[in-house]
Structure 1
Amino acid sequence: MPELPDVEAFRQVLAAHTGDPITGVRVRDPGVLRDVGPRRLDRALRGHRFGTPRRHGKRLLAPAEGPVLTFHFGMTGSLSWHSHDDEPHPHDRVVLSLEDGELRYRDMRKLQGIRLMRDEAEAEESLSDLGPDAMEISRGDLDDLLARRRGRLKTVLTDQSALAGLGNLLADEICWHARVNPLRPARDLDEDDRAALHRAMRRVLRESVKAGRVPPRRSWLTGVRDRPDGTCPRHDVPLSRERMSGRTTVWCPRCQPC
Structure 2
Amino acid sequence: MPELPDVEGFRRLFASCATGRVVQRVDVRDTGVLHGVSARQLRDALEGRRFTEAERHGKWLLARTGDGPTVLLHFGMTGLLVCAHPDEVTDAHDRVLFTVAGGRQLRYRDQRKLQGLWLADDDSAVARLLDRQGPDALAVDRAGFEAVLRARRGRVKTVLTDQSALAGLGNLLADEILWRAGLHPTCRASDLSERERRRLYALMRRTLRSAVTAGRVPPRDSWLTGHRDDPVLACPRCGGPLRRSRLAGRTTVWCPRCQPEGS
Is the TM value for this pair above 0.5?
yes
Question: Counterpart of 1:64 in structure 2: which amino acid?
Answer: T
Q: 1:133 aligns with which of 136, 158, 161?
A: 136
Aligned to 1:206: 209
Matched, 1:187 2:168: no
Structure 2 SS opposite 1:105 = strand
Question: Counterpart of 2:100 in structure 1: which amino acid?
Answer: L
Matched, 1:74 2:80: no
- What is the Cα deviation at residue 200 of structure 1? 0.7
Q: How does 1:53-92 map to 2 (within 5 A)?
A: 53-65=54-66, 66-92=68-94
- What is the Cα deviation at residue 207 of structure 1? 0.4
- What is the Cα deviation at residue 86 of structure 1? 1.5
Residue by residue over 1:188-210, the C-alpha shift from the partner in whole angstroms, topping out at 9 and shown as x without a partner, is: 11122111100110001000000
Q: How does 1:153-192 map to 2 (within 5 A)?
A: 153-192=156-195
Aligned to 1:257: 260
| Overall identity of the aligned pairs, in % | 55
Aligned to 1:196: 199
Decide which moves more: 152-161 or 139-148. Answer: 139-148
Matched, 1:239 2:245: no
Q: Distance in 2 between the 1:145 and 1:80 partners? A: 35
Q: 2:227 aligns with which of 207, 224, 228?
A: 224
Question: Counterpart of 2:42 in structure 1: which amino acid?
Answer: L
Question: Counterpart of 2:19 in structure 1: which amino acid?
Answer: T
Decide which moves more: 122-131 or 91-100. Answer: 122-131
Gaps of 5+ in 1: none
TM-score for both structures, normalised by structure 2: 0.96
Residue by residue over 1:26-74, the C-alpha shift from the partner in whole angstroms, topping out at 9 and shown as x without a partner, is: 0111100001111111111001000111000000111113110000111
Aligned to 2:15: 15
Q: Distance in 2 between the 1:10 and 1:212 partners? A: 9
Question: Counterpart of 1:23 in structure 2: which amino acid?
Answer: Q
Structure 1 SS opposite 2:53 = coil
Matched residues, number: 258
Matched, 1:39 2:40: yes
Runs of 4+ in 1 over 2 A off after TM superposition: none
Matched, 1:97 2:94: no
Matched, 1:111 2:114: yes
Residue by residue over 1:96-132, the C-alpha shift from the partner in whole angstroms, topping out at 9 and shown as x without a partner, is: 0012110000011111110111122211231111000
Question: Counterpart of 2:12 in structure 1: which amino acid?
Answer: Q
Structure 2 SS opposite 1:241 = strand
Structure 2 SS opposite 1:53 = strand
Would you say the 8 A contact 1:129–1:161 is kept in 2? yes
Question: Counterpart of 2:65 in structure 1: which amino acid?
Answer: A
Structure 2 SS opposite 1:142 = helix
Would you say the 8 A contact 2:26–2:42 is kept in 1? yes
TM-score for both structures, normalised by structure 1: 0.98
Would you say the 8 A contact 2:233–2:243 is kept in 1? no
Gaps of 5+ in 2: none
Would you say the 8 A contact 1:178–1:199 is kept in 2? no
Q: Distance in 2 between the 1:130 and 1:181 partners? A: 25
Question: Counterpart of 2:94 in structure 1: which amino acid?
Answer: D
Matched, 1:48 2:52: no
